[in-house]
Amino acid sequence: MSIIIKSVGPRDIKPSEITTEADYSGRREFIKKSGLLVGGALAGSLAVPAQASSAEGGKDFPGLIKTEYGKGRELTSYEDATSYNNFYEFGTDKEDPARYASSLKPKPWSVVVEGEANKTGTYNLEDILQKAQMEERIYHFRCVEAWSMTVPWVGFSLGEMLKRFEPTAKAKFVEFETLYDPDQMPGQKRKILDWPYRDGLRIDEAMHPLAFMATGIYGHTMPNQNGAPIRLIVPWKYGFKNIKSIVKIRFSEKMPPSTWNTLAPNEYGFYANVNPQVDHPRWSQASERKLGANFWEPRVKTEMFNGYADQVAGLYSDMDLSRYF
């Protein structure tokens, strides 16, 4: 594996700009090869000013309940977590979302609830939030590209919200969809992915107490590049399951299609539980690079279910985990 250094002078190199080739270009290369990304960079046509980033420890959520989740863990810096992102609706380079996501308008926002539930309809996000028990949880987060971060998310239990829609006995899965609006999300003007981005969970996964809907990070309202105004956080699964800027929730009887699984089913599974023993076909999943780590620091070992095995392994007791990715 070669190293790509994306900088001009050696003194300007930020640790977050140094990444292995597999980390950096793995999926981008895949997309290029499959003919979806024409001409490489998206950046040129998307001239939108960068979003200002503020310091750590903001106070957009006064009176927020801090929880025991992840207490004492070493955090990734706010700067790294908000400047190195995957959000293909704004481009495929890690810097693109922070640069271009200011065209997203996260307010007002509504979420459509459909399918196998009694209380379907269109909900204003503000009404959803008013009923929610907001809290802060520190979770470790592991991208399938083998980089990771540890950040404090602000939000509420996914299961508690879903229960209020009263899913029926037929609701075996829940599916999420990202906004589709090429004016707000200019990356959607090209068929990089089959927009809108979608992903889903089995209903028992969705009801698990670790599953979280996040509306903020480090005490700040969610920055656009991290999936404003509301995104999913399932910390035992690879990052791509953690769908951003959600506008639709659908309860269904059948396993829903998901963006990456449909695009490359031999590389990205529906379950996508973090599993260091099952490599991606093109790179190892045994270890990870922490965002912001100095380049001389060793990679760290990836843990089964991203370190949440004690809590979630029971969801998969009837599955042969060596077969799933």
> Which positions touch Mo ion (CB under 5 A)?
86, 143, 239-240
Is residue 224 within 8 Å of 244, Cβ to Cβ?
no
Q: Among residues 184, 224, 226, 258, which is the contact residue for ligand MTE, using CB under 6 A?
A: 226
Residues 273-312 within binding reach of ligand MTE (CB under 6 A): none
Toward Mo ion, which CB reaches closer, 116 or 288?
A: 288
Toward ligand MTE, which CB reaches closer, 172 or 276?
A: 276
Cβ 243 to Mo ion shortest distance, Å? 11
Q: Give 66-116 as a DSSP string.
A: E-STTTTPPPPPHHHHHHS---GGG-SSTTHHHHHGGG---SS-EEEEEES
How far is 44 from 128, CA to CA, in rounded Å?
Answer: 38
Toward Mo ion, which CB reaches closer, 161 or 241?
A: 241
Toward ligand MTE, which CB reaches closer, 25 or 172?
A: 25
How far is 242 from 231, CA to CA, in rounded Å?
Answer: 7
Partner that binds at residue 242, options Mo ion, ligand MTE, none, CB closer than 5 to 8 Å by kind: ligand MTE
Does 216 participate in binding ligand MTE (rule CB under 6 A)? no
Where in 188-283 does DSSP place strands (E)? 198-202, 212-217, 220-221, 231-233, 246-252
Cβ neighbours of residue 120 under 8 Å, at least 6 residues apart?
A: 113, 114, 165
Pairing of strands 212-217, 147-157: antiparallel
Site string for ligand MTE, 17-46 (x = CB under 6 A): ------------------------------
Toward Mo ion, which CB reaches closer, 86 or 302?
A: 86
Backbone angles phi, psi at 168, to 5 degrees: -85, 175
* H-state helical runs in the chain: 21-33, 78-83, 96-100, 125-131, 158-164, 203-206, 259-263, 309-312
Toward ligand MTE, which CB reaches closer, 157 or 242?
A: 242
Site string for ligand MTE, 62-101 (x = CB under 6 A): -----------------------xxxxx------------
Cβ 188 to Mo ion shortest distance, Å? 18
Q: Which residues contact ligand MTE (rule: CB under 6 A)?
A: 85-89, 143, 178, 197, 226-227, 239-240, 242-245
